[in-house]
Amino acid sequence: MTKADKRRVRKALQGADFPATEEDLVSYAQERGADVKTMIALRSLPAGIYDDSEEVADSVPQQPG
């Protein structure tokens, strides 16, 4: 994931309640109208509970798909 991608993920998750599951985060970003690339990245997150958007950005695989 590039720095721009990480910024995009963090922006899509601004205001989200943490801790949150990957399912919660995908739903939140989708409701906010996140772009396709961001949604692909979030849908590729490993199952788990995330404490903040930085942890989410660091957990997205390098080449989600």
pLDDT digits 0-9 by tens, 19-55: 999 999 999 999 999 999 899 989 999 999 999 999 9
| Residue/partner pairs of 6-15 with CB below 8 Å, 24 or more apart | 6/57, 6/58, 6/60, 8/34, 8/35, 8/37, 8/38, 8/41, 9/38, 9/41, 9/42, 9/53, 9/56, 9/57, 9/60, 10/53, 10/54, 10/56, 10/57, 12/38, 12/42, 13/53, 13/56, 14/53
Full-model pTM? 0.86
